[in-house]
Chains A and B, each alone.
Chain A
Amino acid sequence: MRPPIPVSAPAERLAASSVASSVTTMPLVLDAPLRRARITSALWWSLALIALLCLVALLAPVLAPYSPNEQLDIVALKNQAPSVAHPLGTDQYSRDLLSRMLFGARISLSVAMLAVLLAATVGTAYGLVAGYLGGRADAIMMRLLDACLAIPRVLLLVAVLALWSPVPLISLILVIGLTGWFEVSRLVRAEVLSVMKREYVVAARALGTPGPRIIWRHILPNVLTPVLVAATLGVGNVIILEAGLSYLGIGARAPTASWGSIFFDGSDAFQATWWIALFPGLAIIVTVVAFNTFGAALRDALDPHQLAGGNAR
C-alpha cells in the first residue's frame, strides 16, 4: 500500500556502491550513549503499547460494555454521537461503537500477525533456498520473484477476494500472507549471499556438512535479524491492508467487527456520522505507529555497526 520502509536498503546499497566503504570511517555526530538511550526508550514504549493493545484485544469480552453485534435500540439509539453512555457513539444499527472497536482489535491484530508470520516463513524459506543454490536456479527464482513483485498487490488481492467472496477469515489470512512474502525473500537472499562467503560457512562446507544442515544451523540464525525487523514493520502494513480490504467489503465479513469493517460502516454517510469512520482510523494509526516504532528501534538496536560507526539514522 505504501513504499516499504527501506530496511533492505543499507545492505543493498552497501553491496552496490564502492562509496559505502567510507561509511565506517564517518565521524560521530550524535554520541552513542544518547542515541542508545533514545533507541531503548522507543523500544520500550512501543513494546508496552503493543502489549497493551494485545491485552485489550484479549480482554475485549470483559472490557466491552455491550456485545459487539447487539442492536441496542434500532429506533432510539441509532447513529448516536459520542456521549457518556456510549463514549464512541453508536452506528446505524444502534450497535455500541466502543464495544465494536474493542472486539475489532481482535480481528485486526490477529489477522495481521498471522498473515505476517506466514509471509515471513514462506519468504525466508524461498530466500534461503535461492541464495543457497545460487547460479541458474537463483536467477530463475529471482525473475519469478520480480514478476510477483510487479503485480499490483492490492489490485490482485481485491480481484481474488472479491471474486471468491465471501471468504472465511482463515482464507483472508492465507491470501494476505501468501502475497506478502516477496520482499522478505529478497531481503533474506541478499543476506544469505553475504553470509555464504563467511569463513564458518566455508568451513562447514569443507567438512562435508550436508546442505540442509548448513542452511538450518549456520545460515538461518544469521539472517533472522532482518526478517524480524521486516516482519515487525510488516504488521503495520497488513493492518492497514486488512482494513482497506474490509473497507471494500471483502475482508472481514459483516457483522464481524474489524477496524476496517467499522470504517466501512461509517464511510457511506460520513458527513452525518463522522465518528463511525473517525475512531477506527485513529485506532489503526496508534497500532501501526507502535509496530513501526518498534520495528525501527529493533533494527537500530540489533544493528551494532550503526552505533559503533555513528551511522545515525
Chain B
Amino acid sequence: MRRYLVTRLAQSVIVVLLVTTISFFLIRLAPGDPFSFVGDINMSATARDQLRAQYGYNKPVLEQFALFVANVARGRLGYSQSMHRNVGEVIADVLPRTLLLMSVALLLSFTIGIVVGAVQAVRRGSWFDRSLSGVLLLFYSIPDFWLALMALLALGYWLPIFPAGGMIDQVVHDYMSLGGRIRDIAAHLVLPSLTLALLSAAGIARYQRDTLLEILPQDFVRTARAKGLGERAVILKHALRNALLPVITLLGLSLPTLVGGAFFIEKVFAWPGMGYVAANAIASRDYDLVTGSVIVGGIMVTLGSLLADLLYAAADPRLRTR
C-alpha cells in the first residue's frame, strides 16, 4: 500500500509539472500581451515597453519560463495586471467559492446518480427503467450553459423563486445575521449547483445502473437471497455496496468535467469563482492570472483523480496488495 501511495503521488507531481509547462507555453506563445490593454488607451508605446521590461515580458520565452518556474517554486504565481493584485491572492479569494459550488454539485450529482441508477437496475427492463433511460439521455445531451440560462429564465425571472445570479444579495447581505447570510448564499447556490449536478448525474446514473446489473446476477447475491434476506437488504447491503466501488473512479473522471462545466455555469449565473475570474482574465489578456487559473484547475483535476484512486484502494482490498 505504501509503495502504491508513493508511486501514485510521484505520478501526480509529474502530471502537475507537465500541466504547468504545457499551459505556460500555450499561453505565452499567443500573440499580444497584457500591456496592450492596461492603463490609458493613450499611453505611449515607450511607456508600454517600459512596463514590459519591468515585468520581464521583453525577455526570450525560454528565459521567461525559467523565471516563472523559479517564482512558482517559491509560491509566487505572478502579478495580475487587470486586478492589480498578486495572482495567489486573487485565487485564494475566489477558489473557495468555486469549491463550494463544485462540492455541492458533486454531492448532489452523486446522490441523484446513484439513487436513480440503482432504482433503474433493480427494475431493469421495466417501463420505468426505459423512460428514465430516455430522460437521462436527454439530460446527457443538453448543453450546460443552455440549461443554466433556461433555468435562470424560468425560475429567476418568469417565476422569481430564486435570485437571478451572483453569490450574495449585494445590497443587504452585509447587514444580515450569520444565519441570514448562510440562507442568502444557499438561495443563490440552488440553481447553479442543481444545473451542474443534473447534467453530470446523468452519466453517473448510467454507470451505476450498468455496474449494478453486472453485480446482481453474481453468486454472492444469490447466496444472500437464498439465506432468506429481504430484497431490500440484498440490494442495499450486498449488491449496491459492491456496485459503488467502480463509481468511485467516476469521481476522478467527473472532475475535469465539473471544472469545465463550472466555467460556463459561473459565467451564466455570474458566480464570482475561478471560472468567472478566468474569463475576465482572458478578456484582458492577463497572462499571469490565466496561467495561474489553468494550473490551479489542473491541480484540482490531478488531486481529484489521486483522491479517487486512493479511495478506491482503500475500499477495495484486492488493490491494496498490488
* Chain B residues, CB < 8 A from A57: none
In-complex Cβ contact of B141 among A160, A236, A274 (8 A): A236
* Chain B residues, CB < 8 A from A18: 318
A271 near B157 with CB under 8 A, answer: yes
Residue of B nearest to A160 (CB): B26
B interface, by DSSP: helix, strand, loop or mixed?
helix
Most buried by B among A17, A26, A159: A159
* Chain A residues, CB < 8 A from B152: 270
A151 near B298 with CB under 8 A, answer: yes
Residue of A nearest to B201 (CB): A3
* Chain A residues, CB < 8 A from B256: 149-150, 152-153
Interface-forming stretch among A65-73, A83-91, A139-147, A198-206? A139-147
Q: Does B111 contact A (CB under 8 A)?
A: no
In-complex Cβ contact of A147 among B15, B145, B278 (8 A): B15
Interface-forming stretch among B60-68, B169-177, B185-193, B212-220? B212-220
A270 near B293 with CB under 8 A, answer: no
- What bracket does the count of chain A residues touching chain B fall in? 35 or more
| A1-54 contacts to B (CB < 8 Å) | 1-6, 9-10, 13, 17-20, 22-23, 26-27, 29-30
* Chain A residues, CB < 8 A from B218: 19, 22
A150 near B144 with CB under 8 A, answer: no
Q: Once the chains are docked, how many angstroms separate the CA of A20 from the CA of B210? A: 13
Q: Does B253 contact A (CB under 8 A)?
A: yes
In-complex Cβ contact of A146 among B15, B140, B283 (8 A): B15
* Chain B residues, CB < 8 A from A280: 146
Annotate B208-244 by CB proximity to A: 1 below 8 A, 0 otherwise: 0110011001110000000000000000000000000
CB distance from B276 to the nearest CB of A (A): 12
Q: Does A118 contact B (CB under 8 A)?
A: no
Interface-forming stretch among B27-35, B43-51, B83-91? B27-35
| A175-234 contacts to B (CB < 8 Å) | none
In-complex Cβ contact of B138 among A153, A278, A285 (8 A): A285
Q: Once the chains are docked, how many angstroms separate the CA of A5 from the CA of B210? A: 11
Q: Once the chains are docked, how many angstroms separate the CA of A271 from the CA of B275? A: 23
CB distance from B138 to the nearest CB of A (A): 6
| A284-313 contacts to B (CB < 8 Å) | 284-285, 288-289, 292-293, 296, 311-313
A143 near B11 with CB under 8 A, answer: yes
- State the B residues within 8 Å of A (CB): 11, 14-16, 18-19, 22-23, 26-27, 30-32, 124-125, 137-138, 140-147, 149-150, 152-153, 157, 199-200, 202-204, 206-207, 209-210, 213-214, 217-219, 246, 250, 253-254, 256-257, 259-261, 263-264, 267-268, 275, 278-279, 282-283, 285, 290, 293-294, 297-298, 300-302, 305, 318
Q: A1-B144, A5-B203, A267-B268 are in contact. List 15 more A-B contacts (CB 8 A).
A: A3-B203, A3-B257, A144-B18, A146-B15, A147-B14, A147-B18, A148-B22, A153-B256, A155-B294, A240-B141, A247-B145, A267-B145, A270-B152, A277-B149, A284-B146
7 A-B contacts (beta carbon < 8 Å): A1-B144, A1-B261, A6-B207, A153-B256, A160-B26, A278-B150, A293-B137
